[in-house]
Structure 1
Amino acid sequence: MYSIRYPLRSPIRRLPLSERIPDGMEVWLLELDVGLSVPDAELALLSAEERAHAQRFRRQEDRVRSVATRAALRRLVGARLMLPPDQLRFVVNPYGKPRLEGEPEIEFNVSHAGCCALIALSTSGPVGVDIECEERVLNAKNLEELAAYVFSPLERHLALQTSKDFIQHWVAKESVLKALGLGISEHLQSVSILPRDDEAYQIAHDSPEWPEIQAWRLPVSDGYAAALAFQTHDRASTQGKSREVSRQTSWLPLSSLEPCQDRGASPQACDHSVRQIDHA
């Protein structure tokens, strides 16, 4: 167990993943007490840019989530690389997704919401993760506006009737776009996330230059929805059952599937309802 000392409600724990997910993938769950302050020792692990980013949050709980998650990330990655956490150097891509400087041995992604945070680590290639509170209430008008902004034409036939349905769909889509390293708002309708009967999602898009990608539901705390996505550059390199899943859940061309009718709503109608995404 890693020794992490900021305000945790319970010890940081590694989530169980399906045996069909390739080796080299880890997801860690933090359950935070966001009413407590983060110790100075944890702040000292962060870079000046990370501390400045956290200080820009107006609310105490947002600052705690930001600092605690980034400190935990540094400790986990530092332990894997056998480096002091405060010596890790991060860079960002044009869309703001962070990665280790140079040629990293580990890819990572984080997400936080409410009192929970997720940290995904991968030695198998780029990864994306998202967690959201399921209890967030969206009225029918907001759901319709958000669906018009978020859903591709192919997704608009999905029977997502409740806020919980929408949030469960959203975490899968955001995790996929983060794993691809793309801007969220610019590419929401470029990819379709289609549910399956198991833990995995089917992914459809019309971008053959994109790498193979899988997305999976994650078993997180009650009241939350979460998903993990990761690139699978070479299907032949995946062993056993995970190779079969790669065939089942890899991208499909949108043109091979029948879209429904466009509702005709404009993205501008609900742009204010979509929060800014923190790739980190």
Structure 2
Amino acid sequence: MSSKSVRWTFNISKWQPTVQDIKLATSCIQPEEKARLAKFVFKNDFKASLIGRLMMRKFVHDVTKVPYNSIKFSRDNKGKPVVISPETVLALNVSHQGDFAVLAGEAGLSMIGADIMKVEYTGGKSLSEFFRIMSRQFSVSEWITIKSCKSEDEQLGSFYRHWCLKESYVKAIGVGITISLQDLSFKIKTPCLSEKNVITDTELYVKNEKQNWIFEESLINNKHIVAVALNANEWTGDKKVVVTRVKF
């Protein structure tokens, strides 16, 4: 098995598949995955989920060189997709929101979490009221960081950055809603993200205790934030893997 670290993104909004494209894409996935896709009501949800499944297969194929039709996925007791064939040690996670789907994958690791957030607010309430409603999802120090931003746009960007970090960690450990997000407190050292650089100096504290985790943060564009969570106890790589556009 080859060593592999990938951070992939795919622009779902620009993908306008034909009927033949859909037939070809769905022929690459398992019957139960097709059944899951058939339940989606909205086209964008269908496309995002399909692309996510295809990215997962491509990553496993690229790492193991096993043919697509021999790759089998299942779900663990936490609902996370896991590779059952071929037998291999790798971690992968998919997320999609806004215009993009993302995948983070690592050969040789047991856990990884990825999340993407589009920085936009369409809730209809004032931003201050929205923040009040969400107050229990962030620690006191996180709210200080968020509200210290000068403009509402900057505050919203900071809000979604923190949310993206929390989601990436929760997805990595697989605990879902059983953990209090307020107990997860992120200390941001680099205030601004960019498309060209990957930031890795953000720290996580759980109930005021610092955790040995690495968070890769970057932008796909000025409206989409990506965070990847890695357990530093098992991660020995470069620590700065740039997000790239994937091609099938």
From the superposition, tell whether residues 184 and 220 of structure 1 become closer, same or farther in structure 2 (CA, over 3 Å). farther
Contact 2:146/2:159 (8 A) holds in 1: no
From the superposition, tell whether residues 226 and 184 of structure 1 become closer, same or farther in structure 2 (CA, over 3 Å). farther
Q: Which region of structure 1 is more displaced relative to structure 2, 171-180 or 87-96?
A: 87-96
From the superposition, tell whether residues 39 and 180 of structure 1 become closer, same or farther in structure 2 (CA, over 3 Å). same
Task: Tell me the equivalent position of 2:135.
Answer: 147
Q: Secondary structure at the match of 1:177?
A: helix
Deviation at 1:43, TM superposition (A): 0.3
Q: Given residue 238 of structure 1, which amino acid in structure 2 is its aligned partner?
A: T
| 1:67 aligned onto 2:50 | yes
Task: Tell me the equivalent position of 1:135.
Answer: 120
Task: Tell me the equivalent position of 1:166.
Answer: 159
Contact 1:93/1:181 (8 A) holds in 2: no
From the superposition, tell whether residues 145 and 104 of structure 1 become closer, same or farther in structure 2 (CA, over 3 Å). farther
Map Cα deviations across residues 161-196 of structure 1 (whole Å, 9 max, x no partner).
Answer: 532221111111111111222214634233212211
Counterpart mapping for 1:41-52 below 5 A: 41-52=24-35
| 1:194 aligned onto 2:177 | no
Q: Given residue 26 of structure 1, which amino acid in structure 2 is its aligned partner?
A: V
Give the paired residue count.
Answer: 216
Q: Secondary structure at the match of 1:101?
A: strand
Q: Given residue 203 of structure 1, which amino acid in structure 2 is its aligned partner?
A: L
Map Cα deviations across residues 44-84 of structure 1 (whole Å, 9 max, x no partner).
Answer: 11112211221211111110111122112212211221112
Task: Tell me the equivalent position of 1:98.
Answer: 81
Q: Given residue 129 of structure 1, which amino acid in structure 2 is its aligned partner?
A: A
Q: Which region of structure 1 is more displaced relative to structure 2, 212-221 or 62-71?
A: 212-221
Task: Tell me the equivalent position of 2:236.
Answer: 238
Query: TM (normalized to structure 2)?
Result: 0.75
Q: Given residue 68 of structure 1, which amino acid in structure 2 is its aligned partner?
A: I
From the superposition, tell whether residues 54 and 130 of structure 1 become closer, same or farther in structure 2 (CA, over 3 Å). same
Q: Secondary structure at the match of 1:159?
A: helix
Task: Tell me the equivalent position of 2:144.
Answer: 157
| 1:27 aligned onto 2:25 | no
| Partner Cα separation in structure 1 for residue 208 and residue 78 of structure 2 | 18
Task: Tell me the equivalent position of 1:108.
Answer: 92
Q: Given residue 181 of structure 1, which amino acid in structure 2 is its aligned partner?
A: G
Query: TM (normalized to structure 1)?
Result: 0.68
Q: Secondary structure at the match of 1:220?
A: strand
Contact 1:34/1:61 (8 A) holds in 2: no
Q: Given residue 43 of structure 1, which amino acid in structure 2 is its aligned partner?
A: T
| Partner Cα separation in structure 1 for residue 52 and residue 228 of structure 2 | 17
Deviation at 1:95, TM superposition (A): 2.6
| Aligned-pair identity (%) | 22
| Partner Cα separation in structure 2 for residue 80 and residue 53 of structure 1 | 26
Counterpart mapping for 1:111-122 below 5 A: 111-122=95-106
What CA RMSD, in Å, does the superposition of the two structures yield over aligned residues? 2.8
Specify every segment of 5 or more residues in structure 1 that has no aligned partner in the other structure, as ranges.
1-22, 246-280
| Partner Cα separation in structure 2 for residue 187 and residue 123 of structure 1 | 30
Specify every segment of 5 or more residues in structure 2 that has no aligned partner in the other structure, as ranges.
192-198, 241-248
Task: Tell me the equivalent position of 2:225.
Answer: 225
